[in-house]
Amino acid sequence: SDAEKHAARASLEGELHDVRVRGADGKTVSLLDKLTSHPGLSQIQRERMLDALAEVKRGYQTAGSTIGDKPGGVGYQDVNWKHTRLELDRVLDVSRAAGLSPRDTETAALASIFSDAVKTPGNFVVHNVHGAQAALHVLARRQPSLSADQLEDIVRAALEHQIGPPKFMAFVAVAGALKAQGVSSDLVGSIATKIGDPLNAKYHSPGGKQLAFTGAEQVALEKIGVRHWTVPHAGSRHEKASHAVIDADSLVNYACPDGWAKIAALHGPHQPIFLQE
């Protein structure tokens, strides 16, 4: 209902006001102020981003309450939500540093918001696919003012964020999942080599939008739910936005205390095999 939507937005804005981040001048500001003052963004773009954040936050809460104390439940979804907030902060930083247009900035922000929106221990390796599906479903329904071209760019950028960081995804996440399924070391190695070097054109399928796998590699990947490994396409309409999402995700996960805390929190006996330290 409209009342619920307004309440969710008010709650979100109150929360973002309390999240302290570094502004463009190096001084501490709220994430809400950083978003609403980002240069070039229109009021419509800011509203779409805040509405998407509110929707995704509600999704995390719903997933957490539904799963409860089981793996992927309340604590896991809270970690995902906090990651989403900080990744948006980094997207704004990267977009400013790279001189992205307002359209590309919004594309990157919306892709980032949805990229981890549907994630549990069971779908870690393919959560990008489910996040992209959520973006398509929610934005097409809730944000009809978005053009079809921009919606397509958001979905592709959400899919492509899964390449980063390449060595972790290749030699830890995917390799660990494949080994747990009994895939031979030779196949694991050949697959990991490609995923670990995703921008190398010699590993791309025709058109450059995905990695090209042999028949045996594809059979192995399907054991862990991977049907495609989508990569940024040089010269594509959304290329800059896609790299902003990838960079922001990696900065949060691997180059700040909040990311290290997330990695520590997501280790344990009920996590994917590669996080069971």
User: Is 241's pLDDT higher than 80?
Assistant: yes
Do 96 and 38 meet the contact criterion of CB atoms below 8 Å apart? Answer: yes
Single pTM value for the model: 0.93
Residue 35 zone, left/alpha/beta (φ > 0; ψ -120 to 50; rest): alpha
**Confidence bin at 164 (pLDDT 50/70/90):** confident
Whether a cis peptide bond, with omega within 30° of 0, leads into 71 is: no
Do 54 and 45 meet the contact criterion of CB atoms below 8 Å apart? Answer: no
User: Is 277's pLDDT higher than 70?
Assistant: no
Mean pLDDT calculated for residue range 89-107: 97
pLDDT tens for each residue of 17-72 = 999 999 989 999 999 999 999 999 999 999 999 999 999 999 999 999 999 988 88
pLDDT tens for each residue of 120-163 = 888 989 999 999 999 999 999 999 999 999 999 999 999 999 98
Which residues are within 8 A (CB) of 73 and not within 5 positions of it... i.e. 6 or more apart? Answer: 63, 64, 67
pLDDT tens for each residue of 188-210 = 999 999 999 999 999 999 999 99
CA atoms in the 13 A half-sphere facing the CB of 100: 26
Q: How far apart are CA 65 and CA 63, in angstroms?
A: 6
Report which DSSP code applies to 19.
-
Q: Which amino acid, residue 245? A: V
Instruction: Report phi then psi at 30, rounded to 5.
Output: -80, 150
Please name the residue that has the structure tokens 């390796």: 125
Residue 41 zone, left/alpha/beta (φ > 0; ψ -120 to 50; rest): beta
Which residues are within 8 A (CB) of 129 and not within 5 positions of it... i.e. 6 or more apart? Answer: 159
Do 232 and 163 meet the contact criterion of CB atoms below 8 Å apart? Answer: yes
Do 28 and 22 meet the contact criterion of CB atoms below 8 Å apart? Answer: yes
Rounded (5°) CA angle 214-216-156: 55
Q: Which amino acid, residue 128? A: N
